[in-house]
Copies of this chain bind each other. A is one copy, B any other.
Amino acid sequence: MVSPNIAIVGITGAVGQEMLNCLESRDFPINELRPLASTRSAGKKINFRNEEIVIQELTNKSFEGIDIALFSAGGNISKEFGESAASAGAVVIDNSSAFRMDEGVPLVVPEINPNDALNHNGIIANPNCTTIITLMGLNPLHQKWNALNIIASSYQAVSGSGAQGIKELKSQISAIHEGKEIETNVYPCQIAHNVIPQVDQFLENGYTKEEMKMENEGRKILDNPSLKASVTCVRVPVYRSHSIAATVQFESTPNVEEAKILIKEAEGVNVMDDPESGIFPTTLDTTEKDECLVGRLREDIVLENSLSFWVVGDQVRKGAALNAVQIAELLK
């Protein structure tokens, strides 16, 4: 597939915009770029490689001649238009949760399970952002010691709710700064100067859908069907990067120094870990960066055969757009 025709569905969203950036910065060869959005945005122009391209309205006929369709407009749009894109001959790379757990749909983090991408039936799913970032830190360790259990808490950026989430935090901070009333549209309550222990809908077991993705998607990506994960997903007032504090129990005994080497040798993730010199990754260290960063690596003092660590990654980039573009690169 040399210089494919590429469609982006949801071009006006935070992830859609970042997909454009990634395609551009990675010199992805493209014959035609077809930006697609709702009627509201159709007719507007985007800039790509110094060319203006008109956004077209998304319809079932939008995918004629398209080789790869990057979807990031929410699960409903993926369900409505994903099949027709695939029927038209495009390979759909879908950022929503619509198809992730479907049999026959590969769920791919290119640094972890690139070969899965080649066994698609027209649709490849991009995993959940928190899951991708956690697994980027965990997989090098899992390959060596076999991960059994994950207990994790997340510190998730508002970008995870798209451009609207970013806007909501910005406008609330401005309102508070100017002594005005805040407005709440995206989140169930104020996110500025607050921490909200809910991401996605609640399930019967008391966990949210987002929290269960770590176990469900983690099993599929790592090909590790007995993996267990207990996660608390929390929205914090930061803009772009997700951070995760994880305790992972392995089948065999892990070792901190070896863990650092394994992560350093892995693609797409690095170690930033020298507590004595005050070195550990914070949210801002990965903002608009491709690499995920791991720090605070230590032997866990509660569970046997366990390590605790902190992993950070740009949610819009590696957690979404970059990962999707990397999947597209695997199809070349």
Taking the complex as formed, is A151 at the interface, i.e. its CB lies under 8 A from any CB of chain B? yes
Bound-complex Cα distance A296 to B233 (A): 11
The one of B151, B193, B196, B228 that contacts A237, using a Cβ cutoff of 8 Å: B193
Contacts of A173 in B (CB 8 A): 173, 177
User: Judging by beta carbons under 8 Å apart, are A193 and B284 in contact?
Assistant: yes
User: Judging by beta carbons under 8 Å apart, are A206 and B151 in contact?
Assistant: no
Stretch at the interface among A47-55, A80-88, A300-308: A300-308
Closest to A202 in B: B275
Task: Provide the main secondary structure of the chain A interface.
Answer: mixed
Taking the complex as formed, is A150 at the interface, i.e. its CB lies under 8 A from any CB of chain B? yes
Taking the complex as formed, is A229 at the interface, i.e. its CB lies under 8 A from any CB of chain B? yes
Q: With A230-B301, A301-B207, A301-B230 as known contacts, state yes or no: A236 contacts B197, CB within 8 Å.
A: no
User: Judging by beta carbons under 8 Å apart, are B243 and A206 in contact?
Assistant: no
Taking the complex as formed, is A245 at the interface, i.e. its CB lies under 8 A from any CB of chain B? yes
Bound-complex Cα distance A247 to B306 (A): 15
The one of B195, B239, B297 that contacts A283, using a Cβ cutoff of 8 Å: B195
Contacts of A223 in B (CB 8 A): none
Q: How far is the CB of A257 from chain B (nearest CB, A)?
A: 11
Taking CB atoms and an 8 Å cut-off, the chain A residues in 293-315 that contact chain B are 295-303, 308, 310
Q: How far is the CB of A268 from chain B (nearest CB, A)?
A: 21
Contacts of A303 in B (CB 8 A): 149, 151, 230
Taking the complex as formed, is A266 at the interface, i.e. its CB lies under 8 A from any CB of chain B? no
User: Judging by beta carbons under 8 Å apart, are B237 and A237 in contact?
Assistant: yes
User: Judging by beta carbons under 8 Å apart, are B190 and A284 in contact?
Assistant: yes
Contacts of A198 in B (CB 8 A): 275, 278, 280
Taking the complex as formed, is A105 at the interface, i.e. its CB lies under 8 A from any CB of chain B? no
Q: How far is the CB of A101 from chain B (nearest CB, A)?
A: 17
Q: How far is the CB of A305 from chain B (nearest CB, A)?
A: 13
Closest to A295 in B: B197
Q: With A206-B296, A247-B151 as known contacts, state yes or no: A195 contacts B238, CB within 8 Å.
A: yes
Taking the complex as formed, is A42 at the interface, i.e. its CB lies under 8 A from any CB of chain B? no
Closest to A169 in B: B193
Taking the complex as formed, is A99 at the interface, i.e. its CB lies under 8 A from any CB of chain B? no
Bound-complex Cα distance A202 to B162 (A): 36
Taking the complex as formed, is A188 at the interface, i.e. its CB lies under 8 A from any CB of chain B? yes
Chain A residues engaging chain B, CB cutoff 8 angstroms: 149-151, 153, 155, 173-174, 177, 188-190, 193-198, 202, 205-207, 215, 228-230, 232, 234, 236-239, 243, 245, 247, 256, 275-276, 278, 280-284, 295-303, 308, 310
Given contacts A197-B280, A197-B295, 14 further A-B contacts (CB under 8 A): A151-B303, A194-B238, A194-B282, A195-B282, A198-B275, A198-B278, A202-B275, A206-B275, A206-B299, A228-B302, A232-B308, A234-B245, A237-B237, A237-B238
